[in-house]
Chain A
Amino acid sequence: MNRVQVRIEKAGYGDLMVVPHLEFAVSGGELLVLLGPNGAGKTTSLRALVGTVDVSRRTLRLDDRDLSRLSTWQLAHAGVAFVPDGARCFANATVEENLRGAFEALRPRGAQGERRRLLDTVFNLFPILHQRQGQLAGSMSGGQRQMLAIARALMIEPKLLILDEPSAGLAPKLVEELFEALGRIKDSAGCAILMAEQNFAAAMGIADSCLVLDEGHVALAGPAAEIRHNERLRVAYLGL
Chain B
Amino acid sequence: MTIASVSQAVLLSLTIAGLYAAVAAGLTLTVGVTRIINFAHGEFVMLGAFLTYWLHTRYALSPWLGMAASGVALGLFSMLVYRVFLARVLKQDEHNQLLATLGLSILLLNIAVILWSPDPRVMQAPALLPSLRLGDVSIPGNNFAVALVGLTLFLVMLWIKTHTRYGTQMRFASDDPELALHAGINVDRVFELSFVIGGAAAGVSGGLVALVLYVQPTVGVDLVIRAFAIIALGGLGNIPGALVGAAILALAEGLTSTFVPQGGSWGFGVAFLLLLLVLIVRPSGLFGKQVQT
Contacts and interface: CB of A to CB of B under 8 A. Distances in A.
A37 B9 CA distance: 69
B95 interface: no
B169 interface: yes
Given A84-B179, A88-B179, A91-B175, A101 B168 contact: yes
Given A93-B172, A97-B168, A100-B168, A76 B182 contact: yes
Contacts of B169: 101, 105
B93 interface: no
B182 A50 contact: yes
Given A91-B293, A93-B171, A97-B168, A102 B183 contact: yes
B176 A73 contact: no
A83 B182 CA distance: 8
Contacts of A152: 183
B126 interface: no
Nearest to A109: B165
Nearest to A97: B168
A93 B180 CA distance: 12
Contacts of B293: 91, 138
| Among B169, B176, B184, B187, residue most surrounded by chain A Cβ atoms (within 10 Å) | B184
A133 interface: no
B181 interface: yes
A72 B177 CA distance: 12
B178 interface: yes
Interface in A137-183: 138, 152, 156
A52 interface: yes
Nearest to B289: A92
A93 B181 contact: no
A101 B172 contact: yes
| Among A73, A76, A81, A156, residue most surrounded by chain B Cβ atoms (within 10 Å) | A73
A77 interface: yes
B185 A73 contact: yes
Interface residues of A, number: 29
B7 interface: no
B179 A105 contact: no
Interface of B: 165, 168-169, 171-172, 175-176, 178-187, 293
A73 B191 CA distance: 14
A93 B168 contact: yes
Q: Which 3 residue pairs spanning A and B have beta carbons closest together?
A: A76-B184, A101-B168, A72-B181
Contacts of A73: 180-187
A76 B187 CA distance: 13
16 contacts: A72-B181, A76-B182, A76-B184, A81-B182, A84-B178, A88-B179, A90-B172, A90-B179, A91-B293, A101-B165, A101-B169, A102-B184, A104-B168, A105-B183, A105-B185, A138-B293
A67 interface: no
Contacts of B181: 52, 71-73, 76
A90 B170 CA distance: 11
Contacts of A6: none
Nearest to A137: B175
A102 to B, nearest CB: 5
A88 B176 contact: yes
B175 A90 contact: yes
Nearest to B237: A92
Contacts of A106: 184
A52 B187 CA distance: 14
Contacts of A71: 181
A105 B176 contact: no
Nearest to B184: A76
Interface in A47-106: 50, 52, 71-74, 76-77, 81-84, 88-93, 97, 100-102, 104-106
A50 B171 CA distance: 22
A103 to B, nearest CB: 10
Nearest to B188: A73
B183 A76 contact: yes
A91 B182 CA distance: 15
